[in-house]
Structure 1
């Protein structure tokens, strides 16, 4: 695994953020060319890549996904492979996830499946929730649309190499939501001559907890920013905005939460004669593990004698892989990165190289279970 470790560390040194992963994609492409995949898809959904390894006979198409992008966060972990790009770092472990899929590609190049096809997808822009949608919207995706899709994510705080699983929802769906209220500016001495959105925004903030309580299951709305007027003491604000992050463990509940917040905002805007615009960004679908895909992963864990932990509740964070669970039976699982490992998105985080071999062997076992590769 030494060459995969070196690859991972090189990727770590040169992180690129969402939709800018051109050099990262080029490094991955250079790694795969000698492996002679049967098909290569470049610029998929922007900077994405897909490599197809065909079996000897027709069969199921299995997709494994990893992420290309890093984060706009400074890497503050001193090492001989510390990020060389100011203000950017692979602080979520996508460099390690890429190395795992590269290792799986090596195995497939040496031993094609007996049946079916295996697709290795390197997806752009996971961190912003744009990448999966872009890949699925690419017309060429129909050529690699899978029968099953699998992905993993390293998880600090769990023992190294431990598999973390869950039936049904694995991670929440979420969306960023900004509500922009526009009224009329006036002199601060005569606020009655204007239309200040401060009251509507305040009422909406106070109403949000009750909206969440009316929806069954886990729903959470977090206020992340309030922007109102400017620092002009003689002026009553005529424009303001409220930004929220909405989360739920069920896609229908998330959609309902969005609708309820929008309805309340429209009502408040109407009461105060304000215009309202609603914008969404960084939207993630609920990541849901399908019962049809689950046995393949569980058999792989058992074959490798891994310690498996069934999590009682879904994770509150979101993963762009959730969109794949809407187009094919999918399975997302966690791989423990160590109890003392820095948390994801922290400036001192670094992917544990020991997980590369574990990830490769798990995915390889799934390939053997789904595509009838020789088990010798």
Structure 2
């Protein structure tokens, strides 16, 4: 485990943002090359890396995924491996997830599976929701097309090593929306000679903030969060002509997300029309719901020996682009406790616990054994 922990510290010290993980990928390649995998596919869907360990006999392919990217958050922890880059740090634990797969790789190099293949996928750009889709769209993904897919995410607030699983939706669907309203400026003394988006902006914010699951006759959690807005500038002699609104749409299922999108666009269109405004809508950071199959979860359940297991009644509200994989292939995303006293994810004080690497790697190895028979 010392090698995996050392790798984790190196990765934590040298974080890279989504889409720019080239040096992180190089570190992964240098780590795995001496382990002599049967295949090592580089630049998969951008900076992705796929490491393949094969058995002697044919069998299914099991894919385990970790994420390469870090976050635009200033490091606040002290220590020898603190981030050397300002405003970039591993505050979601992806450094730990990579170290866990590195530990699995060490075990597989020492003892290959008897049959089938194991693919250790190091995926780029999870935080923006673009990485999984890019990997799957890469023509070389067909070379490692899996029969089962698994991933984990550390969860602060749960006891260290506790496994969190859920049939159906595990992580919610979400997407960012940018709304631009365009009218015409005017002298503040004669606002009627222009076309201000102020009223339409207020109406859109009010109505979007009021959307909920009940709006779509659904019992699941669904809501819109206004994350920012801008109207004109601090110029007291000018009535504004432009405005922008930024919001996040969130739901437990993709079906309700589609209903939310339709209702959101209708609200925007009606408000813009009433104020004689032009408008545009742009979506980004698009995540579909991550939906676990019961059969994959049953593999996880049967693989848990000493770990305690909890199954929450409701999905997590945060999003994960692993849903791209589970929408195509039977699989599951599960949580593993990072400790009750841990800082929360995306908090500047968060640091992945090294003590979690060994039990998580062992659990993945159990999942591999059961998946490959």
1:282 matched to 2:285 = yes
- Higher mean alpha-carbon deviation, 189-198 vs 154-163, is at 189-198
Name the structure 2 match of 1:98.
98
The runs of 5 or more residues in structure 2 that have no matched partner are none
Which aligned segments of 4 or more residues in structure 1 are displaced greater than 2 angstroms?
209-213
TM-score by length of 1: 0.96
SS of 2:354 mapped into structure 1: coil
Task: Indicate the SS of the match to 2:153.
Answer: strand
Q: Deviations over 1:41-93 (max 9, x none)?
A: 10111111001112222221111000001111111111121111122111111
Which whole-Å CA distance do the structure 1 matches of 2:193 and 2:331 have between them?
57
Deviation at 1:210, TM superposition (A): 4.1
Correspondence for 2:240 among 223, 237, 248: 237
For the 8 Å contact 2:209–2:226, the answer to whether it is kept is no
How far, CA to CA, are the matches of 1:190 and 1:44 in structure 2? 57
How far apart, CA to CA, are the structure 1 residues paired with 2:71 and 2:190?
Answer: 46
For residue 209 of structure 1, report the CA deviation from its aligned partner.
4.1
2:241 and 2:61 map into 1 onto residues whose CA distance is: 56
Name the TM-score, length of structure 2 as normaliser: 0.97
Find 1:247's aligned residue among 250, 267, 283.
250
Q: Distance in 2 between matches of 1:353 and 1:149?
A: 24
Task: Name the structure 1 match of 2:350.
Answer: 349
CA distance, structure 1, for counterparts of residue 43 and residue 301 of structure 2:
33
Figure out how many residues of one structure are paired with residues of the other and give that number.
Answer: 370
Give the Cα–Cα distance (whole angstroms) in 1 for the partners of residues 147 and 263 of structure 2: 35
Instruction: Report the CA distance between 1:103 and its aligned residue.
Output: 1.0
2:293, 2:323 → 1: CA distance?
Answer: 11
Unaligned residue ranges in structure 1 (runs of 5+): none
Partner of 1:14: 14
Instruction: Tell me what 2:316 maps to.
Output: 315
Distance 1:211 1:187 in 2: 35
Alignment of 1:1-376 (within 5 A): 1-212=1-212, 213-215=214-216, 216=218, 217-301=220-304, 304-372=305-373
Q: Is the 8 A contact 2:209 2:225 kept in 1?
A: no
CA distance in 1, matches of 2:209, 2:184: 29
Distance in 1 (alpha carbons) for counterparts of 2:364 and 2:190: 67
Distance 1:177 1:36 in 2: 45
Alignment partner of 1:158: what SS?
Answer: coil
Contact 2:163 2:310 in 1 (8 A): yes
Q: Give the distance between the partners of 1:92 and 1:125, measured in 2 at CA.
A: 13
Q: C-alpha distance in 2, partners of 1:330/1:175?
A: 23
Q: Distance in 1 between matches of 2:310 and 2:327?
A: 25
| Offset, 1:162 | 0.6
Structure 2 distance, partners of 1:133, 1:183, is: 37
